[in-house]
Chains A and B, each alone.
Chain A
Amino acid sequence: SAVISQKPSRDICQRGTSLTIQCQVDSQVTMMFWYRQQPGQSLTLIATANQGSEATYESGFVIDKFPISRPNLTFSTLTVSNMSPEDSSIYLCSVFSPVLAGLHSGANVLTFGAGSRLTVL
């Protein structure tokens, strides 16, 4: 299954600034998902990033606050804009990727990046 490199792993930012998080996948995938996990809570989907079209945002999330780029089938970025302390969270990207060989060949496996822990002061 796919391997995702996500960076930065963590950052401490000042209020009002912006931070861009990158995810690089070692294989081509159609959709990439961006999640937020606020302290003590489970994951919330921010948006689905498709190559060649605008991202699809979930209710409560807007493009001006969380612009997403998807220039090709292996890479995506999420920017957290004009940050406030309420944006302090772990941000994760995720893909479904096919298992290419072995017992589960053909199945789609859910793979996550390692997460970016963001603290906004």
Chain B
Amino acid sequence: KNEVEQSPQNLTAQEGEFITINCSYSVGISALHWLQQHPGGGIVSLFMLSSGKKKHGRLIATINIQEKHSSLHITASHPRDSAVYICAVRRETSGSRLTFGEGTQLTVNP
């Protein structure tokens, strides 16, 4: 069993839909990152969370430390949101090293 698991693996939505991507982890962490990878391969950091909730534009990320679970929400989705979304955790015992989920491929159709 992977230490970081994401669901769903693939997600197809219509433009304007509300999207949720989930991340569960099984280890103690100091922080959780949500990353976005576009088809060209470049990776952008969206959020770093250690508790609570963060919002940036149409993106919202939440984390529940007790339940070892985080969600990434996209409101009013748009085709340009189509990308792979990756959850990564910094384990309490691993310093700055990250453990990555398998990623969620999101496709938003016009």
Residues of A near any B CB (own CB < 8 A):
31, 33, 37, 41-45, 48, 90, 92, 94, 96, 107-112, 114-115, 117
Contact B41 A90 (CB under 8 A): yes
Interface of A is mostly: strand
Contact B97 A45 (CB under 8 A): yes
Contact A111 B45 (CB under 8 A): yes
Contact A110 B41 (CB under 8 A): no
Contact A43 B100 (CB under 8 A): yes
Interface residues of B in 42-93 (CB under 8 A from A): 42-45, 48, 86, 88
Q: Count of chain B residues with Cβ under 8 Å from any Cβ of A? A: 18
* Complex alpha-carbon distance, A96 and B44, angstroms: 13
A43 smallest CB distance to B (angstroms): 5
Q: Considering only CB atoms, which chain B residue lies closest to A92 in the complex?
A: B43
- Residues of B close to A48: CB separation below 8 A: 96-97
Q: Considering only CB atoms, which chain B residue lies closest to A58 in the complex?
A: B97
- Residues of B close to A109: CB separation below 8 A: 45, 48
